[in-house]
C-alpha cells in the first residue's frame, strides 16, 4: 500500500487507515459488549458512505447495535467543544505528508453553513444567522483552513463558528492551529465576506500575505463612478492596473493595495471588472492575481465532497454535529492521502494524480462493504406482484431480480 507502483487498495486497508486515525485521535473506547470501537466505527462509516443517518444505518445492518445504543456511546465519550475540536484537528493532521512542512503553500479559509431548522441545544450562541436559503436563516457554521496546491489539497484545520465570533477570531484560531503544526501559508486566499479593516490589520500584524476580492458595500450612488471615493470607483476602470486604497471604519484604518482586472467584452460575454485587495504580494500582473484567486474555489469543492460523506442527523447537540462534520473531513483527507502516496506518480517537483483510479464515492463504498460483510445486510425488495425478497442483496439475488424484470416487464409500467 505504501508503494507508488502498487495501485490496489482493498476495503480492509481503507477501513484500517480511517479507523485507526479516529480511534487514536478521538480516544474512543468500548461502550458495552455491543458498542465496541469496531462496531461503532463500522456503523459510522456505513452511514457516511450512504450520506444517511445512524438510524438508517442500524436498520439496514442486520446484526448492528441499535441506533439509540450508538448515540448513547457517542454522547458518553464526547468531551467539551474545545477538547473535541482539538482532537478533530489532531485527526486532520494525522496523515499530512512531510513535504507539506518543508515549504510554504498557498492556503484558503472559508465558512461552511449547514442549515438548521430547530431550536438551540443549550444557548443561542450555537446558531448563526445568515442569508436565507432552503427555508431557514439559521445555521450551524464551521470554518476550515485548506491547502491550495495540486496533489496536496488537505484540510489542515477546522473550528466551530459561534454566533458572536468575528471573522478576525475565526482567522486567528485557524492560523494559530496551523502555526502549532509548523505550517505557515505562503499567502492566504479569503472570501469576499472576510473583507474588512479588522481582518486586514490582523493579517498585516502577523505578517501573513493575503488576497481577497473587494466587497462594494453601501448604496449605489447616482453620481458617475469616476467621482466616487469608495471602492466603487475602481469599477469604472477601462484598463487593468494597480492602486492603493485606505480601508476605514469608525475606530481604525489601514491601507491595502488594489488590483483591478478588466476583462473586455468577448462575443456574447459582457465585460467584467474584478477588484482585489492584497498585501505582502508582488503580483506580476492583474491577470496573475485573478488566476491565483481562482484556485481558492478548491475549498468549495472540499465542502461538496464533505457533504458526500457527512452523516445526516436531526440532533440539537452541537458536539455530535461537530463530530459528524469532522468525520467527513477526515475521510476526505484519507482519500487525498491515498492519491498522493499510493496512486500518485512523481513528475519532477510535482505529483501526477490519477483521480480515476479511486473516486471518493468508490472509497466510501469500500467502507460500506466492510460494514455489510461484518454485520450482514437486511436490504429487501418488494415487487409489484407482492413477492418480497428478504435476503441480503447478493449477485444471485440481483440476477433473479433481473430475470423477473425481463420476464414480466409490463409489471413495472406506471
* pLDDT tens track for 93-139: 998 988 888 889 999 999 999 999 999 998 999 999 999 999 999 99
Question: How far apart (Å, rounded) are the C-alpha atoms in residues 117 and 97?
Answer: 39
In the predicted structure, residue 21 carries a pLDDT above the cut 60: yes
Q: Which of 78-87, 150-159, 378-387 has the lowest mean pLDDT?
A: 378-387
Which of residues 220 and 159 earns the better pLDDT score? 159
Which of residues 345 and 118 earns the better pLDDT score? 118
Question: How far apart (Å, rounded) are the C-alpha atoms in residues 56 and 43?
Answer: 10
What local confidence, expressed as pLDDT, does residue 396 receive? 47
Contacts (Cβ under 8 Å, ≥6 apart) of 227: 233
Q: Which of 69-78, 195-204, 233-242, 312-321 has the lowest mean pLDDT?
A: 233-242
Mean pLDDT of the chain: 87
- The predicted-structure confidence for 362-410, as pLDDT tens digits, reads as follows 999 999 999 999 999 887 544 444 444 444 444 444 445 444 444 544 4
Contacts (Cβ under 8 Å, ≥6 apart) of 292: 106, 187, 189, 211, 283
What local confidence, expressed as pLDDT, does residue 168 receive? 96
Question: How far apart (Å, rounded) are the C-alpha atoms in residues 237 and 229?
Answer: 13
Mean pLDDT of 329-349: 89
What local confidence, expressed as pLDDT, does residue 414 receive? 32
Quickly tell me which residue has 486497508 as its cell. 13
Bridge partners (DSSP) of residue 142 are 112, 160
Question: How far apart (Å, rounded) are the C-alpha atoms in residues 371 and 61?
Answer: 8
Amino acid at each position: 500500500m505504501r508503494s507508488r507502483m502498487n495501485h490496489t487498495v482493498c476495503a480492509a486497508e481503507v477501513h484500517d487507515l480511517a479507523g485507526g486515525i479516529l480511534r487514536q485521535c478521538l480516544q474512543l473506547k468500548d461502550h458495552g459488549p455491543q458498542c465496541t470501537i469496531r462496531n461503532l466505527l463500522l456503523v459510522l462509516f456505513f452511514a457516511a458512505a450512504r450520506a444517511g443517518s445512524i438510524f438508517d444505518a442500524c436498520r439496514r445492518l442486520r446484526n448492528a447495535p441499535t441506533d439509540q445504543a450508538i448515540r448513547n456511546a457517542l454522547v458518553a465519550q464526547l468531551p467539551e467543544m474545545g477538547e473535541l475540536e482539538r482532537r478533530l484537528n489532531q485527526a486532520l493532521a494525522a496523515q499530512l505528508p512531510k513535504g507539506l512542512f518543508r515549504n510554504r503553500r498557498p492556503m484558503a479559509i472559508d465558512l461552511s453553513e449547514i442549515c438548521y431548522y430547530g431550536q438551540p441545544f443549550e444557548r443561542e450562541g450555537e446558531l448563526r444567522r445568515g442569508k436565507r436559503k432552503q427555508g431557514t436563516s439559521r445555521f450551524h457554521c464551521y470554518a476550515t483552513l485548506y491547502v491550495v496546491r495540486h496533489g496536496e489539497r488537505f484540510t489542515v484545520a477546522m473550528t466551530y463558528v459561534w454566533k458572536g465570533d468575528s471573522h478576525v477570531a475565526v482567522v486567528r484560531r485557524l492560523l494559530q492551529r496551523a502555526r502549532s503544526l509548523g505550517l505557515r501559508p505562503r499567502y492566504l486566499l479569503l472570501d469576499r465576506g472576510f473583507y474588512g479593516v479588522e481582518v486586514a490589520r490582523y493579517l498585516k500584524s502577523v505578517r501573513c500575505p493575503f488576497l481577497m476580492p473587494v466587497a462594494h458595500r453601501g448604496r449605489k450612488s447616482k453620481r458617475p463612478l469616476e467621482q466616487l471615493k469608495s471602492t466603487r470607483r475602481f469599477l469604472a476602470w477601462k484598463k487593468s492596473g494597480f492602486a492603493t486604497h485606505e480601508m476605514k471604519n469608525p475606530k481604525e484604518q489601514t491601507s491595502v493595495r488594489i488590483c483591478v482586472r478588466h476583462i473586455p467584452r468577448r462575443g456574447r460575454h459582457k465585460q467584467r471588472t474584478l477588484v482585489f485587495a492584497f498585501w505582502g504580494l508582488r503580483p506580476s500582473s492583474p491577470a496573475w492575481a485573478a488566476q491565483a484567486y481562482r484556485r481558492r474555489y478548491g475549498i468549495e469543492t472540499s465542502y461538496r465532497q464533505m457533504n458526500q460523506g457527512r452523516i445526516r442527523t436531526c440532533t440539537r447537540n452541537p458536539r455530535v454535529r461537530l463530530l459528524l462534520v469532522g468525520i467527513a473531513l477526515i475521510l476526505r483527507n484519507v482519500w487525498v492521502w491515498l492519491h498522493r502516496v499510493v496512486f500518485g506518480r512523481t513528475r519532477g517537483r510535482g505529483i501526477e494524480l490519477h483521480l480515476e483510479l479511486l473516486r471518493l464515492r468508490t472509497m466510501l463504498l469500500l467502507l460500506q462493504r466492510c460494514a455489510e460483510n461484518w454485520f450482514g445486510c437486511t436490504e429487501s425488495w418488494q415487487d409489484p406482484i407482492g413477492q418480497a425478497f428478504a435476503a441480503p442483496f447478493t449477485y444471485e439475488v440481483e440476477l433473479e431480480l433481473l430475470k423477473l424484470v425481463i420476464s414480466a416487464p409490463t409489471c413495472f409500467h406506471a
